């Protein structure tokens, strides 16, 4: 257990710093039929998580993302999940309900132009600052603690 705690603390530090230093935006439809824009969340941290139902590490991190989203959504941060597979909306809705996911699930296709560049593996998460800047990228799983620790260290570094 101590090894896992150390691993996740190192993971918090291992979020790679991004080179996108100016605000970005995108607009996608959600599984709930609503339109979502990254700019709607200015003033909050946003974790944009690319995932798929067939991806075991994606499924492993979903409870962590849910916990993080629920503890921060009314204050300072949200999670936006972007599904990266060819699946019917009905099957995806059923899957999301069975996983008890409450954060917005956004839909995209291979032709969607997003400001993150190529996503080389799943899961991949981008941490967006309250100013709308991509400040970190993580290929692989994240935890609620690793996200919170990274946000805290970034705030302290920029004070």
Please give the angle made by the CA atoms of 79, 80 and 83, to the nearest 5 degrees: 135
In 25-128, beta strands by DSSP E: 27-29, 35-37, 45-51, 77-83, 105-107, 124-128
**CA-to-CA distance for 74 and 76, rounded, in angstroms?**
7
CA torsion sign, 127 to 111 to 66 to 32?
A: positive
Is pLDDT above 80 for 20? no
Q: What percent of the chain is predicted at pLDDT more than 90?
A: 72
CB distance 80 to 46 below 8 Å: yes
pTM of the model: 0.86
Is pLDDT above 80 for 143? yes
**CA-to-CA distance for 13 and 151, rounded, in angstroms?**
10
CA torsion sign, 136 to 142 to 148 to 150?
A: negative
**CA-to-CA distance for 154 and 41, rounded, in angstroms?**
18
Nearest CA-CA partner of 75 in 40, 43, 103: 43
Residue 139: enclosing H or E segment and its boundaries? strand 134-139
Residues 102-134 pLDDT 10s = 999 999 976 677 888 888 899 999 999 999 999
Is pLDDT above 90 for 6? no
Residues 33-68 pLDDT 10s = 999 999 999 999 999 999 999 999 999 999 999 999
Predicted pLDDT at 7: 38
Question: Which band of pLDDT confidence, cut at 50, 70 and 90, is reported for residue 14?
Answer: very low
């Amino acid at each position: 257990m101590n090894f896992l705690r150390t691993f996740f603390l190192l993971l918090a530090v291992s979020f790679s710093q991004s080179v996108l230093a100016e605000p970005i935006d995108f607009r996608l439809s959600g599984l709930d039929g609503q339109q979502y824009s990254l700019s709607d969340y200015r003033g909050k941290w946003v974790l944009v998580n690319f995932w798929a139902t067939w991806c075991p590490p994606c499924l492993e991190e979903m409870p962590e993302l849910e916990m993080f989203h629920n503890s921060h959504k009314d204050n300072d941060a949200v999670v936006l999940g972007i599904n990266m597979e060819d699946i019917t909306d009905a099957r995806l809705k059923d899957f999301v309900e069975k996983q008890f996911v409450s954060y917005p699930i956004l839909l995209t296709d291979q032709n969607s132009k997003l400001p993150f560049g190529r996503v080389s593996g799943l899961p991949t998460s981008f941490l967006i600052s309250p100013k709308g800047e991509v400040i970190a990228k993580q290929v692989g799983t994240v935890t609620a603690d690793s996200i919170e620790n990274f946000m805290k260290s970034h705030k302290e570094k920029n004070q």
